[in-house]
Amino acid sequence: MFDRFADASFFRVDGDQIAVINQQVREQETDPELAELASALKQSQLQAEHELSQRRTLHSKQRHLRKQQRLQAEELPEKEKHTLLARLAEESVQQKRQLQCLKQEWEQRIAALQHRLDHKLMRIEQLKQQRKQRSAALQKKLFSAYRFANIRGVEKDLVELFSVTKNPLPPAGSGECAAPKLLHYAFQHQLRPIALAEFWWGRSPKSEIRQHKKFYPACQSKCQPILAHMLEGMPLEDNPLLSNPAQGQDITIVYQDDAIVVVNKPAEFLSVPGVHVHDSVLTRLKAQFTQAEGVFALHRLDMSTSGLLVFALTRRANKQLQKQFISRAVQKRYVALIEGKLSETQGEIQLPLCGDLDDRPRQKVCWQQGKPALTHWETVQVEQNRTRVYLYPYTGRTHQLRVHCAHHLGLNAPIVGDDLYGLQDKRLFLHAEQLSFAHPYTKQPMTFQVDADF
C-alpha cells in the first residue's frame, strides 16, 4: 500500500522537518531566560501588590490622623486654623500623587517584563501553529498515499473511502490493521482470499476487552470503510446488522393490565427499533395494543439478551415507573453462564464505562470519562468448565454486565456466546430472569420471574 519508512518517502522527509520544529519548540520552552522572565514577572506582581498595600495602609492611618487634627483645629484661632487646614489638604494631595506615581512605576515595570515574556511565548505559539499546519498537510498527503485495491483491481485512497462517512477525516492509524494489508497483498498477487480472521496477541489492554489468542472482528471506525471497498465483488456471508433475527419469533406476555405489560423477550430480538431493523418488542406491542394510550419503553435489553421487560401503557404509568427507574428502586436479577471457574463465590465490580468511539457498539473501561457502573454478583453453580452466576446491576450502563464479566479487572470471564467480548456460541447466555417494582397505580410490590432456557 505505502511504505512510509522508505528512505525516499515524503513521510520521512516531511517528518524530519516537523521533528526540527519540535526541537525548536523544546529549545524555546526550556530556554532559561523564559523561566527567568516568568519568575521575575510573578515576583514583580507580588512585590507591587505588597508595596501598594503597605502604602495604602500608611495613607489610611495618616488620613485618620488628619481627621483628628481637623477636629482639634476648630479650637485654634482662625489664622492658625486656616494654616493647619491648608497644610493637611496639601498632605492629602501629595499622598494621592505619591500613590499614583508608585502605581504607574510598577505598571510600567510589569508591562516591560510582560512584553518580553509575550514575545517569547508568541514565538513558541508560532512554531506550534507551523507544526500543526505541517502535520495536517502531511497527514492529508499520507491519507492520499494509502491506496487499497479490491478483487476487481479498483483502487481508492483513504480520503476517498472516508469521504462518505459521518467523519470524513480518517482516524489516526487507519490502514495499519492486519486485515486491509493482507487483503491488499492478496489482490496484488492475484490471490483469492478464502477466509480471514484476526486474533489478539499479548496482554489485555487497560480499557478495551481483548484476551490473548481470542478472535475479534475488525473495528468499525478505522477498518469498516476500508473493508467495505476491499470486499466488493467477493462472495460474503450476510451482514447480521442488516438481517432481522427476530423474524418468526413470538413475544410471550407474562403479565398485563390497564397500566403495564410485562413480556419475556427472546434472545436476538431488539427491544426498540434499530437503525437498520425496525422490528422490535416495542414495535410488536404498539401493533397489538392499539387501544392503549400508548406503549412506552422504560428500559432495554441488548438484542442478544433474553428476559423480562416492562412497558407502560399510559402516560401516568410511564411517569411513575420512570421515577422508580431513575431512583433505582427497580430490582433486577440476571443469570449468566460464564467461561471458566471463579476463585470467589460473590463480590462486586466497579468499573466505569463509556462507548469505544473507535469500535462501536463496543464499550470500554475508562477511568477519566466513563460513567460509574456497579454490579453485584454471586456464584450459583459450576457446570464443567463454566460457572452459572447471578448478576445484580445497580446501574444500567450499555453492555455493563458483559463488560464487567469479560474485563480482566472484573470477573475476567466472558459470558458464553458473547460475540463482542468473548466467543460466539449458539446464543448469548445472559437472561434477565427476575424483575421487581411497585405497581404505578396501586403501589403494591410486584415481582416477576421467568427462568432461563439454558
SS (H, E, C) 138-159: HHHHHHHHCEEECCCCCEEEHH
At residue 6 the predicted structure's pLDDT band, cuts being 50, 70 and 90, is low
Helix then strand then coil, in percent of the chain rounded to 5, is: 40, 20, 40
What's the one-letter identity of residue 435? L
DSSP assignment of 238-268 equals --TTTS-TTTT--PEEEEE-SSEEEEEEPSS
**Measured in Å, how far apart are the chain's first and last C-alpha atoms?**
48
Check pLDDT > 90 for residue 225: yes
* Cα 115 to chain centroid, rounded: 40
How far apart, in whole angstroms, are the C-alpha atoms of residue 382 and residue 370? Answer: 32
Q: How far is the CA of 257 from the CAs of 241, 254, 450, in angstroms?
A: 34, 11, 18
For the chain, what is the radius of gyration of the CA atoms?
A: 36
Residue 8 has a pLDDT of 60
The lowest-confidence range among 134-138, 392-396, 437-441 is 134-138
Helix (H) or strand (E) holding 332: strand 331-339
pLDDT in tens, 229-270: 999 999 888 877 778 888 889 999 999 999 999 999 999 999
Give the residue from 323, 276, 332 showing the smallest Cα distance to 300. Answer: 332
Residue 255 has a pLDDT of 98
Query: In the structure grid, which three cell numbers stand for residue 118, read together?
Result: 509575550
Q: Which of 14, 31, 302, 356 is catalytic?
A: 302
How far apart, in whole angstroms, are the C-alpha atoms of residue 257 and residue 250? Answer: 20
Q: What is the overall mean pLDDT for the chain?
A: 93
In the annotation, is 14 catalytic?
no
Residue 105 has a pLDDT of 96
Residue 247 has a pLDDT of 86
Residue 7 has a pLDDT of 58
pLDDT in tens, 61-116: 999 999 999 999 888 898 998 999 999 999 999 999 999 999 999 999 999 999 99
